[in-house]
Every structure is written in structure tokens, then in C-alpha cells.
Amino acid sequence: MSGEVTIYDIAEKLGLSAATVSRALKDNPAINSNTKKKIRAAAEAMGYRSNRFASNLRKRTTNTIGVVVPRLNSNFMSTAISAMEKMASDAGYSLIIVQSLESPAKEIANIRTLFNSRVDGLMAALSSEQETDIDFRILTDRGIPVVFFDQVPSGSSQPCIIIDNAQAAHAITMHLIGQGCKRIVHLTGNVKRFVYRERLSGYKMALLEAGIPFDEELVLHSDLTELSAPDIANRILEMDGRPDALFAANDMSAAACLTAFRERGLSIPGDIAVAGFNNDPISRLMQPNITTINYPAYQIGATAATYLLNHLTGKSSLQATNKVILHADLLVRESTMRLPHNDQLRSVF
Amino acid sequence: MSGEVTIYDIAEKLGLSAATVSRALKDNPAINSNTKKKIRAAAEAMGYRSNRFASNLRKRTTNTIGVVVPRLNSNFMSTAISAMEKMASDAGYSLIIVQSLESPAKEIANIRTLFNSRVDGLMAALSSEQETDIDFRILTDRGIPVVFFDQVPSGSSQPCIIIDNAQAAHAITMHLIGQGCKRIVHLTGNVKRFVYRERLSGYKMALLEAGIPFDEELVLHSDLTELSAPDIANRILEMDGRPDALFAANDMSAAACLTAFRERGLSIPGDIAVAGFNNDPISRLMQPNITTINYPAYQIGATAATYLLNHLTGKSSLQATNKVILHADLLVRESTMRLPHNDQLRSVF
DNA sequence: TCCAGATATGCAACCGATTGCAGAGATTTT
DNA sequence: AAAATCTCTGCAATCGGTTGCATATCTGGA
């Protein structure tokens, strides 16, 4: 716009060169401190704002970080992103957020877009386990750092911030077994996704350990949304030999199934115990409240951002830390407490 | 980086000028279609990517939209932003999202940051009703369009995408009165915020209309989080003359209070009816499920983005549409159904 | 054959901040 | 007094794409 003030305007007004103004505003030690003061005062008075594009063009850096997620309207994602935004903003970086909406094509396009936007770094939770691993090469090949979180590529050597999903699922399954459950249904999502595959494997491991034969029939697949829950609940209730527990891979579907069960007159956890995953608010507010795994969304987002930012600002290198595994507690609540007194602590929160 | 391909490289390789390459890649009709084909093929083969900064610097436009929200980890916000991201992305725009975390100072700083990032437009939900109205001037004065949604400045002539909060609150209060409730508590948030003030006023209007005297004691203030709910529930139960209904300004606190009430052995809606606002998933999954207002988050986000994008792409002007009021239905559910047969439709969803 | 009009391409000046290098002036050293 | 050193500032090129204007080539018509 015509009203835009540049360093040239400031330079002209003070009878200096643009170079001097540029250096002064960057607090370059070569500039006399009196000159700096004058320049700063003039810049302020004239309403100067630096043009990022000119600066980026010249410096070949953008102070912008890209974030790729499957979708951002889940409690986990929005909390994680909230943490990232705070960290990035405190460090002077902006966030560009894109969602793939479960479409691998969109995911690839998104990666290209961020690449073209010349982000300085990237944080990503994958939509699927497709070729995307390869597509990140266009970034990593040019030295643009990528940190994965939540949904990470398996077998890659890229930095990842995750929890031990298998171990958490193992813990929750063992807890159910400890409560006397024998036929435990596991409701999972798309097992191409890292987290669901891991949770399934933890579930299997626990069964194996307890000497309970694994039954493929007891593993149900869905998109884990509220909408598909009634159907899932039906299928569980119609099984030969009714299951005595449901371990769902997220809290939303655990809650929705629990509601469906109760509408059929089942008592929870007496007739069927229900456990979820994530510690979404809903797991605390349902009655009975739902046993779950505390998935530390904020901490995961904050950690991913911290590692990336430290790398970008040269404070530390990412290669040193390939994988960060955060702790995820089992929260035992009413929905699985079948034994009156047991040795598990009842979690209040 | 050294490996970066520019239009000059392409031009040199094909024996053309950079101007021609630039025009060809932009599909300028002045360029011969054969030449275009050759240039596109070469660009593809050489791995060319356009440098946004050079382009932005020259064009003085960024294809970037800023989004300012109080915090992004609520069901409403993440859903609205999700819609915005989709619209913007389809139109070739990127989103830069910042959150104010309830701090007016951070909100002002955020606006400045986006201003300095030279966003082409802005969508904003305000943190408070402070001076921020004024701070947007730095944008609007320079012709950068701003669309407000959800939390909008009152009395401003800026474009807004909202629902009629007062009318919705009126409807829900009338419904409670219709169910025989006489002492209706309203739990509200910071009344400096547009939506809460409006909801409170709708509540008052309904009381007035029904001839029930307004009692200041029955209006409780909180931050509307899950954590403060137990305290609120206590205060309600300890009132002289126990209230027979609670109308909370969001679903989270309605659900949390409902849980607290039940833990004290009250029956819902028999002893006390409970209504919320937003139609968060939790309102559907609680047992009893909770009467609420369907706050169309996705639609609000999509509408805000559509108006802004149409303005930016010159399809229509924002000035023509100062205020868009979307419809928000009352969803009557179990938590307020005190009369066995009534004329209200029971909403399934 | 000559010229008007289209069509296609090139020239060169931007946009605004950054930075290597040079150099003017002031200060200290020999 | 001459030389060496230090401080500070300016010159001018650079980043890469865009665009107004000029120019070259070709087409068809008089």
C-alpha cells in the first residue's frame, strides 16, 4: 500500500543509508548506539513494520513451522496443537496448520504446499501408513527437519514423539483380566495406523501372557466415531457367548458404546466392563466414569515443538534424539471396577 | 539452498527469458501454448518450485489468512477452524492460527504479529470486550478485511458470523419454564464476552415474558470449565429453596454439574433439570443426555471463511453483508423432560 | 507491395531487506 | 609526523518473480 514505510524512508528522513537503518534495527554492534536510538525512534514514529518477504527472500528462512494432522477437531489434536502454538509463538515462530482429512492425496498435497511455503520445519501426525513416508523426503532431502508425533511412520529413523501404545494397551488389558474378564473385545481403528496397530499388539500380548487364547472374532474395526458406536454395540451384544469387557481404542467410542449398552439394560461394569483410551474429558464425566489411558496431549505437542525449535535455533540437534517416549498412565475408574476391593488404586482424576 | 531451481534456470535451459517463463507458469494467455507446454515440462523435470517470498514481495499479497481465537482446544473452536482450513485450502490460501489464551495483551500482540506477517485477511473470535476493537484498526485502516465469528465486538460495523444467542437462550429457558421449572439457575461465563452476555439477556427476557421475577442470586459466574463445576454444583445445592433447573452456558459445565448432582443422589430431570449450550458430543453421550442448543461450529467456520475468501478473490464485497446470523436449534433431550407427554418433539440427535 | 493489427517474446525496472567489501574519519602506536 | 588500528557508515549487488512497455514476427487485407 502507499502508506507502507520502508527502511529507505527512514534512511532518507535521517540522512543515512538503508544499510545503516537495517543494521540498527537488527541491533548490529557495528552501529553507533546514538545512531541506533535515533533510527529506532524514527521507525517507531513513522509506523515502520519490517517486510517479512523481503527479509525472507534475502535470508532464505521464514520463521514458520508447518503442522500436518489427519484432522484437527479432536480433543487430542487441538490440545497438542495448542501446546505447539504456544511454544512456537514464544520463540517467534508462526504455525501453518493443514489437515489431511484422512485422504492420502490431500496429505501429499499438503506436504508440497508446506514445502512451497518454505517452512523452516515440520511437525506431522500421519493419516495413514502409505507412501507418505517417502513424500517427506522432499523436505528431509533439503535439510528441512521433520518431527513426527502420535501417528508416526514405523521403521523410519525420523525423530518421533510418542507414548508406548503397546505397553499402555497391555496395561489396560491386564487390568481387565485382573478384574476377572475373560472375553475381552478390542475395538480398533484403521490398523494401518501406527497407534492402533500398537494398541492391538499390546492387547494381544496381554492375552498371551495371561494364557487367554486370542480370538480374531473379538477384534472389531470401525472408524471410532460416535456415529458408528451403536452398530458396534449391537455386534458385541449379538456375539455367541457375550463378551464381558470392551477395550476401545478411544474414549469417544468407549463412551458411545457404554451408553448403548446401558440403553439395552446392561449394567456397567457388572455385565460388561468398558475401557477407553486418551483421557478425554468425556471419560471423566460419564457415569460410570471410564477407565482409560492418560494420553498426554499437551505434553506431546510441547515436546515436539521444543525439540524442533531447539534444532532450528541451533541449541541442539535432532539427530541426537531419535525417539522420545512419554509416559502414559493407566487411569482406573468405575467402568471396569468389578471387584469390590482390589489392589489397584482408584484414580480420582 | 544451492539446489534451488529458479525461473532463470528454466529460461536459460530453454533459451527463453525469465519473463516468458513466469508468464507461462501463470498460464498467461499471451504465451503460446506450445511454449507453455515446453516450459511446464522443463519446470516439472527440473523440480522447480515457486518462491513465495519473491512473489509476495512483488505482488504485495500473501495468500495467507490469519485466525485469532481465545483458545483452540475446544470442540467448538477446533471444529470451526477445521472448516476454515478446508475452505481456505481449497481456495489456495494458508491459515496462520494464533491463540490469545484469555490474555488481552497476547491478543493485541497476536494481531500485530499477523499484521506483520501481512495476512491478506483475518478471522477472529475475541478474548474479551476490551480495547481490542480498536486494535483491529491497524488492519482495517489498511484495508485488510476482518471477519468476526462467535465472540464478536458489540456495536461494531465489522462483518460478523454469529447465531442469535439471546434468542437461543430464550428458547431454552422457555422450554424449562414449559416443563414446570420455576427457579432456574443460569450458569454463565465472563459476561464481558458477547456470547455470554447475550445468553444471559435471553434468559432474563424469557423470565420476564413468563412473569417470573428475575433473581440475581440465581445467576452464577464461573470459567465454565470441568474443574470449577463441583464448586458450582455445591453452591446450587446449598441455596435456600433449591432450584429446579440449571441452564449452563456450555455443555461441559452442564455435564459436569449433572454428574455432581447425581453423585449427591439427585435425579435428573426429576429433582433438577439440566440444560447446556453447544451440542458438544458430551451432551449426546451423557446419561441422561442433555438438552442443549445446536451451535453449528462447522457451518460458522465455513461461512466466515467463505465470506472472507469471496471478498479477497473479488467475488463479492464484505461491506454488503455486515452480519450473518445462522440458525441454532433447540435440542430437547432427556435431561429436561419432566412432563411425560408434552408437545415438544424429543430430539434424537 | 505495403501496412494495420494480432500474436508472441524480451528488456529492465521494480518489490524491500540484507550483507560483503570498501573507505572515511578518529584514535592510538611507533 | 607517519603509520597502524579501530569505529562507524555507505555502496551496490543480491534474493526470485512480476509486469509495463517495447519489439519482433506473422497474418491478412487493400
List, in order of start, the domains of chain A with CATH numbers.
Answer: 7-50 (1.10.260.40), 62-158+298-323 (3.40.50.2300), 165-294+330-336 (3.40.50.2300)
**How confident is the model at residue B342, as a pLDDT?**
46
Asked if the Cβ–Cβ distance from A117 to B52 is below 8 Å, we say yes
| CB contact (8 A) between residue A96 and residue B101 | no
Which residues 252-281 of B are in CB contact (within 8 Å) with A?
Answer: 252, 255-256, 259, 262, 281
Asked if B73 and A75 come within 8 Å (Cβ–Cβ), the reply is: yes
Query: What confidence score (pLDDT) does residue A142 get?
Result: 79
Give the residue, A112 or A211, on which the prediction is more confident: A211
A125-165, pLDDT tens digit by residue?
998 766 566 678 878 887 889 999 999 887 777 899 999 99
Kindly tell me if the per-residue pLDDT of A248 is higher than 60: yes
Which of strand D's nucleotides are less than 7 A from any protein C-beta?
A: 7-12, 14-20
Work out if A16's Cβ lies within 7 angstroms of strand D.
Answer: yes
Cβ within 8 Å, pair A53-B57: yes
Please name the residue of chain B whose CA is at the shortest distance from the CA of residue A255: B285
Distance from CA of A93 to the nearest CA of B (A): 10
Full 3-state SS string of chain A: CCCCCCHHHHHHHHCCCHHHHHHHHCCCCCCCHHHHHHHHHHHHHHCCCCCHHHHHHHHCCCCEEEEEECCCCCHHHHHHHHHHHHHHHHCCCEEEEEECCCCHHHHHHHHHHHHHCCCCEEEECCCCCCCHHHHCHHHHCCCCCEEEECCCCCCCCCCEEEECHHHHHHHHHHHHHHCCCCCEEEEECCCCCHHHHHHHHHHHHHHHHHCCCCCHHHEEECCCCCCCHHHHHHHHHCCCCCCCEEEECCHHHHHHHHHHHHHCCCCCCCCCEEECCECCHHHHHCCCCCEEEECCHHHHHHHHHHHHHHHHCCCCCCCCCCEEEECCCEECCHHHCCCCCCCCCCCCC
Give the residue nearest to nucleotide C15 (CA to C1'): B58
pLDDT bin (cut points 50, 70, 90) of residue A76 is very high
pLDDT per residue of chain B (349 residues) written in tens, 0 to 9:
346 889 999 999 999 999 999 999 999 888 999 999 999 999 999 988 888 889 988 888 888 899 999 988 889 999 999 999 999 988 888 898 999 888 888 888 888 888 878 889 999 999 876 656 667 887 888 788 999 999 988 777 789 999 999 999 999 999 999 999 999 999 999 888 889 999 999 999 999 999 999 999 999 999 998 899 999 999 999 999 999 999 999 999 999 999 999 989 999 999 999 999 999 999 998 889 999 999 999 999 999 999 999 988 877 777 766 889 999 999 999 999 988 654 444 443 3
Chain A residues whose CB is inside 8 A of the B94 CB are 96, 98, 113, 117
